[in-house]
Amino acid sequence: MQIISLYQDKLFYLFYYKKIMDKEQFLNSRNFDDKKKEKTILLGKSGSGKDYLMRKLVEKGLRGCLKTTTRPQRKFEVQWVTYEFVADWTFQERIKNDEFLCYQKFEVTPEGKKPETWYYGITKKEFDNSQVFIMTPGEFLNISPELRKKCFVVYLDIDRETREKRLTRREDKNDSIKRRLDSDEIDFKDFTDYDLRIKDPDFNADDIYDLMD
């Protein structure tokens, strides 16, 4: 299973990035906006628009963080663009080697399947080389006070009804929508450590970019 997973990752890489020689060259080819000195961290419940905002900020020139995960690839997701998808044993090896700045484990039950364990994480190297990040409250807690001072934290606090409609349109069968919504309510219950809180589901990414130092 591990060999097949790695082989499929390689095929995805070759298909989408024929002109790029290896993974490191691709990652280093990303934009870097030297006008913005702060690192921007995006937090929000499922369906709040984190991926959309991340994409818009990257389009403005910021270098987005590539998180590592062991969860299954979703429809339209691309290896080394959406996430770095790895086998569980690869993630565990990186934990042993102390490569992660932060990581988190989730117990999920995909529709019609047995419970699974998924890991998400940000490597220390990726944090140093990136400007905008999507984090969970659990990952954010691993940020030291010194690093926190250098970050602009955006909390997308969008209402549950809007988020549920968005998640339903995704047609993602890898996880229960209700579980994700209920879990988010718990995870964000006491979250107050942000610099900007957004409640408007039709927020403008340009306005957020302009607020960054």
Domains of the chain: 2-9+33-211 (3.40.50)
Over residues 68-97, mean pLDDT: 94
Query: Are the C-beta atoms of 139 and 102 separated by less than 8 Å?
Result: yes
Query: Are the C-beta atoms of 151 and 38 separated by less than 8 Å?
Result: yes
Query: Are the C-beta atoms of 131 and 63 separated by less than 8 Å?
Result: yes
What's the pTM? 0.80
Tokens of 32: 């870097």
Residue range 44-71, pLDDT digits in tens: 999 999 999 999 999 999 999 999 999 9
Q: What is the pLDDT of residue 113?
A: 82
Residue range 119-176, pLDDT digits in tens: 999 999 999 999 999 999 999 999 999 999 999 999 999 999 999 999 998 876 667 8
- CA atoms of 67 and 80, how far apart (whole Å): 9
Quick check: 177 pLDDT over 90?
Answer: no
Q: Write the DSSP assignment of 49-117 as a string of letters.
A: SHHHHHHHHHHTTPPBP--EE-SPPPTT--BTTTBEE--HHHHHHHHHTT-EEEEEEEEE--TTS--EE
Residue range 23-48, pLDDT digits in tens: 554 455 456 667 888 999 999 999 99
**Cα–Cα distances in angstroms (integers) from residue 10 to residues 16, 24, 91, 131, in the given order:** 10, 14, 17, 27
Q: Which residue has the higher pLDDT, 103 or 17?
A: 103
Q: What is the pLDDT of residue 12?
A: 40
End-to-end CA gap in the chain: 46
